[in-house]
Amino acid sequence: MKVSILGATGQNGSSIVDGLLASSETKFDLTALVRPSSLEKSNVTDLQKRGVNIVSFNLGDPEAEVAAQLKGTDVLIVCCLVDELALANAAKKAGVKRYIPCFYATVMPRGVQTLRDNKELVLDHIQRLHLPYTIIDVGWWYQISLPRLPSGRLDRNLFLYSTAIGGNGDVPSARTDARDVGVYVARIIADPRTLNQKVLAYTDLRTQHELYNTVEKLSGEKLERKYRTAGEIDDGIAKTKDSNMMDYYQYTYQKSYDIMGENTPEYARYLGYLVGKDLYPDMEGISFEDFFQETLETGLKPMYEEHADMLRKFSSFVFKGAAATE
């Protein structure tokens, strides 16, 4: 199965490359589509050493040329910010058999968050093209679900984190280890049942209180539990909507998952999603307990390294402690 990927070196992209290369069920012939200016970057040459084909790709080229480059692609995976309308046009022209637009987040209806709504506009365009597709959402990453430990021992590389529990803390939410995204993607893109469907693939479903309880139990530290009411979240959304997109996204995500309870298999099914656990009952992702135990022992893997400094400057959801800049 010939798979091409845009954004192979990003947070989701690298997980997907790992997942596809490790797949034993399906053999993937994997190509990373890379901007000409990035061809010599070390993370790109590293991919090549691991057996990924590297192709210079410029979405600004004439559509016919872009389509010619995509010819023969079975699955085209997008996991970076690009003009997906232009890309989908070329993919349709090239006869791509399945297009995976950049979703990979929590389940949410339309009209809650502009970031999500823009993804839906891409889906609308795909559907106007009659282009075969699969939507993949994975819930919220473990790696950005943790509260800060009072001891500060997670501060190094703590990035997006749980600054406050939304609502009463008793609403379940779906979470996944970022490293498992690719494992799920490998299974989903080879599955005929998921063609032209939305899929929520997640590992863990628990409330904020349950998550805090687990963190307390495994760390042996007592956490301070701060709460953010539905009203405070709505105020946060109103205040940041036109001024601070990063905080606006976080408030809207939190409204959806902590207040509305939308990041659940139940609500996903209501929206017409298939659910990974129903499709693949044999699959077990990394448990939250194992992830957190490992994190305590070896530290938290850095997230969004490239943008971290920039984001630390203005987002209230990004950890800014002294240790973080070590």
Residues that bind its own copies (CB under 8 A): 109-112, 124-125, 127-128, 130, 132, 196-197, 260, 267, 269-272
Nearer to its own copies, 148 or 255 (CB): 255
CB 6 within 8 A of CB 78: yes
For residues 92 and 63, give the distance between their C-alpha atoms in angstroms, rounded to a whole number: 11
Is 119 annotated in the active site? yes
Indicate the SS3 state at residue 322. helix
Q: How far is the CB of 133 from its own copies (least distance, A)?
A: 9
Please calculate the CA angle 37-43-45 and round it to the nearest 5 degrees: 75
Nearer to its own copies, 53 or 127 (CB): 127
Q: How far is the CB of 125 from its own copies (least distance, A)?
A: 7
Nearer to its own copies, 106 or 157 (CB): 106
Nearer to its own copies, 109 or 169 (CB): 109
Please calculate the CA angle 215-217-223 and round it to the nearest 5 degrees: 55
Q: How far is the CB of 124 from its own copies (least distance, A)?
A: 4
DSSP secondary structure, 156-170, as one string = TT--B---SEETTS-
CB 254 within 8 A of CB 248: no
Order across the sheet with 204-206: list the strands. Answer: 140-141, 173-176, 204-206
Nearer to its own copies, 64 or 195 (CB): 195
Q: Which of 2, 49, 71, 119 is catalytic?
A: 119
Q: How far is the CB of 100 from its own copies (least distance, A)?
A: 16
Residue 104: left if φ>0, alpha if ψ -120 to 50, beta else—which one? left
Eight-class DSSP state of 192: G
Burial class (CB in 10 A: 0-12, 13-18, 19+), 245: middle
Nearer to its own copies, 75 or 300 (CB): 75
Only one residue has tokens 């070196």, namely: 9
Q: How far is the CB of 289 from its own copies (least distance, A)?
A: 30
Q: How far is the CB of 131 from its own copies (least distance, A)?
A: 10
CB 246 within 8 A of CB 304: no
Residues labelled as active-site residues:
119
